Structure 1
Amino acid sequence: MINKISQNSKNQDIEFSRDESLTSPVGPLLIASCQSGSKLAKRVVELLKNENIAQVYGEHLIFLEDIDFQFSDGETCVRLEEDVNGRDVFLFQGLKDPTSDRNVDENYLAFLIAIRAFREWGAKRITGVLPYLAYTRQDKPTAGKREPVTAELMANLSVEAGLNRLIVWAPHDRRVQGYYGKTPVDAIDPLPFFLNIFHRFKGADDCIGIAPDAGAADLMIAFCRNLELRCAITSKHRPKPEHADVTDIIGNFDGMKRALILDDMINTGGTVEAAIKKVCHNTEVNEIWLGVSHFLGSPQAVEKLKDLHHNFGLKEIYVTDSVPATSAFSKLNFAKISSIDKSLMEVIKNIHLNKHMNKILRKPN
C-alpha cells in the first residue's frame, strides 16, 4: 500500500511485510530520483513493494520523487521533503534523457547536488543508480588530440560529492570502474538480457553473430558461445567524430542467411548502419536482428533505422529503457523496448540486505 506524504504529493511511503531475516544492517531503505530518473525508479519501487523487505527500526521505505528543480535564473537545487538521517539511499538519475530539454551536463549536475544533499543531511550510505553512465567514451584522449580523461573527472566529482557506491547497466568500458578508486561499482552485464531475447536462435545453422566493432567483440564471443553460433567481427574506423566506416567483415559466412548484431549503444546510428550495409552487400545474409544496451534517442538514428528496416533486412531492434525512449522511436513497429527494472531491483535488494552479488552480476560462461 502506498500512502501519500502530505508535505509533497510526489513522495510516497511504502510499507513492506516484516521478516527479521531480511533486516538491513545499514538503516532503513530510501529510494530517490532526480527528474530524469523518476520513470525507471517508479518501476523499481513497484517491484520492491512485492519483496519481503522488513521495516527497519519501525520505519517504512520512503520514495522521494523529482527532488531536483531549477530556479528562474537557471541554477539547479535539490530539496529533500523527508528526514533522511541514517537512511540507506539509492539515488536514480537518467543522465541522458531525450524526452526532456535537460542535457547530460544538467542531469549530471543535479545528480551531484543530490548526492551532496543526502550527505549533508545525514544519509548513512548513498548508492547512485545510473542505468546509462555518461562520459565513459571519454576514458582516454583521442590519439594525437589534447583531450582530458573526462570519465575520471566525473568519477572524482561523484566521490567528492559523497557517493558511496554506484550501480550501472552495461558501461561502455568496464575499465571506468577503476576511476572510482575504493568506491564499489556494480556493473550489470547485458549478456543474460541478450541471451534471453535471442534464445530462439540457439544452434541455428544459418545464423551468425556479428560484432559491429572491436569494442563489442568480447560480448559477441560470449553470446555466440552460449547460443552455439558462428561469430564474426567488422573492421571499423572513424574518419572524424561520430562518423564510422566499415572496411571489412571477418568471419565465415558460408550458408549464413540470418545475422544477430549486438552493440552497447546507438547514438547517431553510424556504426550499425555501416555494419548492416556492409553485411548485406558482401554476404548472402538477408535478415538481421539488432540488440542494443543503450539507445540514446537521436532523430538521425531513428531515420537510419527506418531505412535499414525497409531496405537492408533489419527485422527487429531490441533496446532497454536505460535511456527514456522518445515517442518517435517507440512508434517504430519493429522496435522492442524491454525494462531493466527487475535487474536493478535485485541488485538494490541484495546491496541493501548485504547479500552476496555473485548470482546477479556473474555472466554466463
Structure 2
Amino acid sequence: MSKMMVFTGNANPDLARRVVRQLHIPLGDAYVGKFSDGEISVEINENVRGKDVFLIQPTCAPTNDNLMELVVLADAFRRSSASRITAVIPYFGYARQDRRPRSARVPISAKVVADMLDVVGVNRVLTVDLHADQIQGFFDMPVDNIYGSPVLVDDIQAQRFENLMIVSPDIGGVVRARAVAKSLGVDLAIIDKRRPKANQSEVMHIIGDIEGRTCILVDDMVDTAGTLCHAAKALKDHGAAKVYAYCTHPILSGRAIENIEGSVLDELVVTNTIPLSAAAQSCTRIRQLDIAPVVAEAVRRISNAESISAMFR
C-alpha cells in the first residue's frame, strides 16, 4: 500500500484536487476552518501515522491566514506521527522580502517563514518558480524549486506565434526569459526600468530590435500589473506588432485588473498556482493554464525518491 497522502488547506483546493487526479489517489480528509474569534481551526480526519504527507498550500492572499493554515496543519501532521511532511507551496509568499536593502531596519521575512516551517516539523519544501533561487538557503531542509516554464513554453508553441521575440521586463528576469527564449529558439530583448516607489514602475529603455515583432513578456509573477502594462506600452511605442505576457503566479492585487483592461497588452497568460478572483476570471484578456501535471509529477518523484532535476532536462 502506498504511503503517499495529499492534503490541502483553503488556499487552492482546486489545484490540490487536480493534483490527486493526476496521481490517482483520493484527497486527504482534513477540516480547516476558523474559531469564532478568527483563529485557525484544524483537525485531521484520518490516520496519517507513518504516512508520506504532502500538504498543498500556496501562501497567497489572504497571505497570513493561508500561512497560518499551513503551519498549524503541519504541526497537526507531526503530532499525528506522519513519517514525512512535505509542504507543497506553489506560490511562496513573503519571497520578495529576502534581504535588507541599504541596511534598512526591516525584517528578512522569507527567512522568518522558512524558520516557521522548520519549527512545526516540515521536512521538505516543494515550490514553483521561487522569486529568488537563493531563498533555498534560508531553509535547513531540502527545497525543490520546480519550474513553470515548460507549461508556458508548451502553450507558446501551441499558439504558433509569428516573428516571435521573448522579452524580459527587467534586468533581474533575464535568466528566466533567456531560458524560455532558448527553449523556443528565438531572440531575446530586455527592458531596463526604474522603480521610483513600491508597486510602481517606469519603463526607460528597450535593449533589442522589436520592430514588427510579436513580443512575449516573461516573468515569475504579476502583482499590480504595473510593470507589464508599462512594458507593453513601451514595446508597442517602439513598433511591436503584438504584446503578450506569460507569468507563473497571478497575484493580481490592487488595481491589477483595471490596469490590464486599460492597457495595450493583448493577453496575459498565467498558471493556477494561485486561484483567480471572480474579476480576473471574467477578464477576457487573462487566460489560465494548468500546472497540476507538473506539480503531481514532482510529488510522485519525491515520494518515490526519484530525481526532480530530470524533469527539466
1:236 corresponds in structure 2 to 193
What's the offset of the Cα at 1:202?
A: 7.4
What's the offset of the Cα at 1:133?
A: 0.4
What is the rounded CA distance, in whole Å, between the counterparts of 2:214 and 2:156 in structure 1?
A: 12
The one-letter code matched in structure 1 to 2:243 is: I
2:162 counterpart of 1:198: no
The one-letter code matched in structure 2 to 1:235 is: D
Q: How does 1:314-353 map to 2 (within 5 A)?
A: 314-353=265-304
What is the rounded CA distance, in whole Å, between the counterparts of 1:122 and 1:192 in structure 2?
A: 36
Q: Structure 2: 5+ residue runs without aligned partners?
A: none
Q: Is the 8 A contact 2:181 2:187 kept in 1?
A: yes
1:6 corresponds in structure 2 to none
Residue 306 of structure 1, aligned match among 261, 279, 291: 261
In structure 2, the CA distance between the partners of 1:291 and 1:203, relative to structure 1 (3 Å rule), is: closer
What is the rounded CA distance, in whole Å, between the counterparts of 1:176 and 1:297 in structure 2?
A: 23
Q: Is the 8 A contact 1:350 1:357 kept in 2?
A: yes
What's the offset of the Cα at 1:203?
A: 9.3
Residue 147 of structure 2, aligned match among 167, 189, 209: 189
2:114 counterpart of 1:155: yes
2:105 corresponds in structure 1 to 146
What is the rounded CA distance, in whole Å, between the counterparts of 2:200 and 2:244 in structure 1?
A: 22
What's the offset of the Cα at 1:41?
A: 0.8
What's the offset of the Cα at 1:125?
A: 0.2
Residue 9 of structure 2, aligned match among 23, 34, 44: 34
What's the offset of the Cα at 1:269?
A: 0.9
TM-score (norm: length of structure 2): 0.94
What is the rounded CA distance, in whole Å, between the counterparts of 1:337 and 1:280 in structure 2?
A: 24
Instruction: Report the count of equivalent residues.
Output: 313
The one-letter code matched in structure 2 to 1:173 is: A
Q: Is the 8 A contact 2:222 2:249 kept in 1?
A: yes
In structure 2, the CA distance between the partners of 1:227 and 1:203, relative to structure 1 (3 Å rule), is: farther
Q: Is the 8 A contact 1:84 1:122 kept in 2?
A: yes
What is the rounded CA distance, in whole Å, between the counterparts of 2:256 and 2:30 in structure 1?
A: 29
What is the rounded CA distance, in whole Å, between the counterparts of 2:128 and 2:297 in structure 1?
A: 13
1:80 corresponds in structure 2 to 44
The one-letter code matched in structure 1 to 2:14 is: K
2:34 counterpart of 1:70: yes
Q: Is the 8 A contact 2:30 2:45 kept in 1?
A: no
Q: Is the 8 A contact 1:203 1:228 kept in 2?
A: no
What's the offset of the Cα at 1:355?
A: 2.0
1:357 corresponds in structure 2 to 308
The one-letter code matched in structure 2 to 1:86 is: G
* RMSD of aligned residue pairs (Cα, Å): 1.8
What is the rounded CA distance, in whole Å, between the counterparts of 1:31 and 1:107 in structure 2?
A: 17
Residue 295 of structure 1, aligned match among 223, 238, 250: 250
What's the offset of the Cα at 1:37?
A: 3.0
State the Cα deviation string for residues 120-174 of structure 1 (Å, max 9, x = none): 1100000011110001100112325211111111101101110001111111111
What is the rounded CA distance, in whole Å, between the counterparts of 1:108 and 1:116 in structure 2?
A: 12
In structure 2, the CA distance between the partners of 1:327 and 1:66, relative to structure 1 (3 Å rule), is: farther
Q: How does 1:242-253 map to 2 (within 5 A)?
A: 242-253=199-210
Q: Is the 8 A contact 2:235 2:243 kept in 1?
A: no
State the Cα deviation string for residues 166-187 of structure 1 (Å, max 9, x = none): 1111111111111112x11111
Q: Is the 8 A contact 1:202 1:228 kept in 2?
A: no
> Which is greater in Rg?
1
What is the rounded CA distance, in whole Å, between the counterparts of 2:288 and 2:161 in structure 1?
A: 25
Q: Is the 8 A contact 2:213 2:242 kept in 1?
A: yes
Segments of 4+ moved more than 3 angstroms: 200-204
